[in-house]
């Protein structure tokens, strides 16, 4: 009898290990608005399911935090590896930026970061701050909704032409078009699990930065992203910067494994509100800065 | 005048290990790389972007009460570490470990908080310049 009881308990215990509790379920059964669980850990190898074909749809999060130290692959921490291949103009721009983060950070009252004034971050900086997204798609496009500041961008996948980059804008079908905070993005499926995206036509360097630590980005940049669906729960998101105005050569900024989140998640919003920024500075930022 | 601060070592490894820590972005000219631990009474808790703010009154060994204002990250960043809009109420007794600002004023960045019932709320994560993002 004792042996059977032990076998039963061992079996129940083993079953609990073999059949994982639904990875999304960290809420009580009575909760109708699931709490955000943006840091869901990667799925164990034995539990991985095959990647679906040609879809990026889902709520995606990472365990990176807010990337306060700068772009994921080259954080601005003072190490030799963090030194970017600046052109002389690029270095001049960096030194003019008074950032709130990174090795050359300044107190809140002395920053000139556009983010501190609730200017749009611009692309690709939205990839380098507090990254969490929802992705929807149809036969014509992929739409990425960024959680930070409730922004969205569109990647056209319907075979349209890629814009020609000009000084101060782009040319599309023979017409001059304006610069945009998210630029103009065109994507193509290189195989059933990889979407490659090119973006040009972003804002000039006096309006946007590359990351929170003050690295610059110009309107002559060409950004290449790849979205690789590695398995059902994992999307590897990579980005390469090619900006000859501020960097002497292309370099890779990120390669982030994003994890699929519960699609019912109610994401906490994070708007940039000038009112709230002002209140923060009055309550903390100015005094903490010695103002 | 600075009040005398009591340095206490709090252990929160279990909780901190179970939640992903948010990279600490201390500015080299803003925050000290040391930490201090404050035992005080909550005055206000502001659950807001860009940073949540905890105001507490700390009584030093000399009997002087100093009001500290300490910050955490934005709500969506600290939510995984256990913070909520109603985590603190005026009058709550708390123990807060902070990186104080370098200019000596009673301001700083929360590392973690221990509530009166012993609950530990994770904080801002790794401290100090060059600490790895987590």
Residues in chain A: 291
For chain A, say whether B104 makes contact (Cβ under 8 Å): no
Q: Is the pLDDT of residue A27 over 80?
A: no
Give the closest-approach CA distance of A96 to chain B in angstroms. 16
- A63/B20 Cβ within 8 A: yes
- A276/B50 Cβ within 8 A: yes
Give the closest-approach CA distance of A75 to chain B in angstroms. 9
Q: What per-residue confidence (pLDDT) applies to A11?
A: 46
- B125/A105 Cβ within 8 A: no
Q: What per-residue confidence (pLDDT) applies to A87?
A: 98
Cα dist from A228 to A79, A191, A231, A234, A256, whole Å: 30, 9, 9, 8, 10
Q: Which position has the higher pLDDT, A255 or B11?
A: A255
Cα dist from A213 to A67, A68, A98, A164, A248, whole Å: 10, 7, 8, 30, 19
Q: What per-residue confidence (pLDDT) applies to A6?
A: 59
For A118-225, where are the alpha helices, taking DSSP H only? Answer: none
For chain A, say whether B134 makes contact (Cβ under 8 Å): yes
- A105/B29 Cβ within 8 A: yes
What is the SS3 assignment for A17? helix
Percent of chain A at pLDDT > 90 equals 71
Instruction: For residue A151, report the phi and psi dihedrals to the nearest 5 degrees.
Output: -100, 160
- B80/A39 Cβ within 8 A: yes
Give the whole-angstrom CA distance, residue A100 versus residue A69: 10
Give the whole-angstrom CA distance, residue A126 versus residue B19: 24
Instruction: For residue A210, report the phi and psi dihedrals to the nearest 5 degrees.
Output: -85, -40
> Which of A229-257 are b and which e, b meaning 16 or more Cβ less than 10 Å from the residue's Cβ?
bebebbbebbbbbebebbbeeeeebbebb
CB B108 within 8 A of CB B70: yes
Give the whole-angstrom CA distance, residue A268 versus residue A260: 17
Q: What's the pLDDT tens digit per position in A143-176?
A: 999 999 999 999 999 999 999 999 999 999 999 9
**Strand ranges in A64-207 using DSSP code E only, listed in sequence order:** 132-137, 141-146, 151-156, 164-166, 169-172, 175-177, 184-191, 194-200
CB A72 within 8 A of CB A256: yes
Question: How much helix, strand and coil, in percent to the nearest 5, is found in chain B?
Answer: 10, 35, 55
Q: Which two tokens stand for residue B122?
A: 């994770």
Backbone angle region of A242, left / alpha / beta, with phi > 0 → left and psi within -120 to 50 → alpha: beta
Give the whole-angstrom CA distance, residue B22 versus residue B109: 13
Q: What's the pLDDT tens digit per position in A46-65?
A: 999 999 999 999 999 887 87
Q: What is the pTM of this model?
A: 0.80
Give the closest-approach CA distance of A257 to chain B in angstroms. 14
**Reported ipTM exceeds the 0.85 cut:** no
Q: What's the pLDDT tens digit per position in A126-141?
A: 999 989 999 999 999 9
Give the whole-angstrom CA distance, residue A109 versus residue B54: 20
**Token pair 């930490």 is at which residue?**
B35
Q: Is the pLDDT of residue B1 over 90?
A: no
Q: Which of A66, A100, A280 sits opposite B73 (nearest CB)?
A: A66
Q: What per-residue confidence (pLDDT) applies to A205?
A: 98
């Amino acid at each position: 009898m004792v042996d059977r009881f032990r076998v039963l308990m061992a079996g129940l215990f083993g079953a609990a290990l073999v059949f994982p509790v639904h990875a999304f379920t960290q809420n009580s059964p009575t909760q109708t608005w699931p709490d955000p669980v943006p840091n869901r850990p990667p799925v164990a190898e034995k539990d991985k399911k095959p990647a679906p074909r040609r879809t990026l749809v889902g709520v995606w999060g990472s365990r990176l935090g807010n990337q306060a130290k700068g772009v994921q692959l080259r954080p601005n921490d003072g190490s030799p590896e963090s030194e970017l291949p600046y052109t002389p103009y690029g270095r001049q721009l960096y030194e003019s930026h008074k950032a709130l983060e990174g090795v050359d950070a300044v107190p809140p009252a002395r920053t000139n970061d556009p983010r501190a004034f609730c200017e749009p971050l611009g692309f690709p900086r939205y990839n380098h701050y507090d990254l969490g997204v929802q992705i929807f798609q149809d036969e014509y496009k992929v739409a990425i909704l960024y959680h930070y500041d409730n922004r969205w961008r569109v990647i056209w996948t319907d075979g349209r032409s890629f814009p020609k980059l000009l000084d101060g804008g782009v040319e599309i079908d023979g017409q001059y078009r304006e610069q945009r905070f998210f630029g103009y993005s065109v994507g193509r499926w290189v195989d059933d699990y990889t979407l490659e995206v090119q973006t040009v036509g972003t804002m000039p360097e006096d309006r946007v930065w590359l990351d929170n630590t003050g690295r610059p980005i110009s309107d002559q940049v060409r950004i290449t992203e790849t979205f690789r669906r590695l398995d059902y729960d994992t999307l590897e998101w990579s980005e390469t910067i090619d900006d000859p105005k501020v960097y002497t050569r292309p370099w890779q900024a990120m390669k982030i494994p994003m994890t699929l989140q519960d699609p019912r998640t109610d994401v906490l919003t994070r708007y940039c509100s000038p009112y709230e920024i002002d209140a923060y500075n009055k309550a903390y930022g100015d005094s903490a800065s010695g103002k | 005048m600075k009040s005398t601060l009591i340095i206490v070592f709090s252990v929160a490894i279990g909780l901190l290990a179970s939640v992903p820590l948010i990279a600490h972005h201390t500015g080299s000219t803003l925050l000290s790389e040391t930490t201090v631990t404050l035992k005080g009474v909550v005055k206000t808790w502001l659950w807001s972007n860009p940073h949540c703010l905890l105001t507490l009154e700390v009584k030093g060994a000399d009997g002087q009460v100093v009001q500290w204002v300490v910050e955490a990250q934005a709500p969506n960043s600290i939510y995984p570490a256990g913070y909520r809009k109603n985590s603190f109420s005026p009058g709550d007794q708390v123990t807060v470990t902070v990186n104080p600002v370098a200019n000596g004023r009673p301001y700083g960045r929360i590392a973690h908080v221990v509530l009166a019932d012993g609950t530990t709320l994770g904080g801002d994560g790794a401290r100090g310049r060059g600490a790895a993002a987590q």
